[in-house]
Structures are given as structure tokens and as C-alpha cells.
């Protein structure tokens, strides 16, 4: 990741924006050699935030499925899918 001082960003903001938009690598903006901000292309940002939202939705669905299984345990007969898959793996 390339580091650029904040003063340079002030002087060449448009060129740096173009560089970030064209490239796939983020740029770190520093002040007094300390990182302040990271600039990255919008597509990279969107993919990262969508992945986080997807992960949260999957965890919520998993939690709902676990709750459903607990509520309906007495109605479910026989081994669950995980047990069946483990038995199949062990039989190989």
C-alpha cells in the first residue's frame, strides 16, 4: 500500500483521485508519518461492505435455523443432516 503525505494530497488531489480510481490498490494518507485515512476504489469498498452485510445475514439465518430446530426438536425424528454426513464420511 502506497503512503502519501496529506500536504501532497492537498496539492495533487485530482491526480491522486484518478490514480486510486484506476488502480486496485488503496493509498494511505499520512500526517506526521502517522496513517490518517485510506483511499480505495469504490468497487473495492463496495465489495468489502457487501461481504460484511452478507456475513451478517448468513449468521442471522443460521441463528434462526438453530432456534427453529430447538423449538421443533420433539417433532424431528431421526438423525440430523450433520450426523448423517459424518456417518457417510466415516464409512469411506
Rounded to the nearest integer, the mean pLDDT of the chain is 87
* pTM score over 0.75: no
In three-state secondary structure terms, 92 is coil
pLDDT digits (tens, 9 = 90+) for 33-47: 999 999 999 888 888
Query: Does 6 score more than 80 pLDDT?
Result: yes
User: Cα(56)–Cα(9) distance, rounded to whole angstroms?
Assistant: 35
Angle subtended at Cα 55 by Cα 51 and Cα 61, rounded to the nearest 5 degrees: 145
User: Cα(92)–Cα(82) distance, rounded to whole angstroms?
Assistant: 16
On whether the CB atoms of residues 29 and 37 are closer than 8 A, the answer is: yes
Strand pairing class (34-39; 27-31):
antiparallel
Query: Does 87 score more than 90 pLDDT?
Result: no
Looking at per-residue pLDDT, the higher value among 16 and 52 belongs to 16
Of the pLDDT bands very low, low, confident and very high (cuts 50, 70, 90), residue 92 is: confident
Q: How many residues does the chain have?
A: 92
Amino acid at each position: 500500500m502506497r503512503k502519501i503525505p496529506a500536504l501532497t494530497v492537498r496539492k495533487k488531489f485530482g491526480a491522486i483521485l484518478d490514480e486510486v480510481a484506476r488502480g486496485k490498490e488503496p493509498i494511505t494518507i499520512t500526517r506526521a508519518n502517522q496513517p490518517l485515512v485510506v483511499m480505495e476504489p469504490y468497487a473495492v469498498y463496495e465489495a468489502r461492505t457487501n461481504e460484511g452485510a452478507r456475513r451478517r445475514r448468513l449468521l442471522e439465518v443460521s441463528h434462526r435455523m438453530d432456534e427453529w430446530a430447538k423449538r421443533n426438536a420433539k417433532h424431528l425424528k431421526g438423525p440430523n443432516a450433520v450426523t448423517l454426513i459424518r456417518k457417510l464420511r466415516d464409512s469411506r
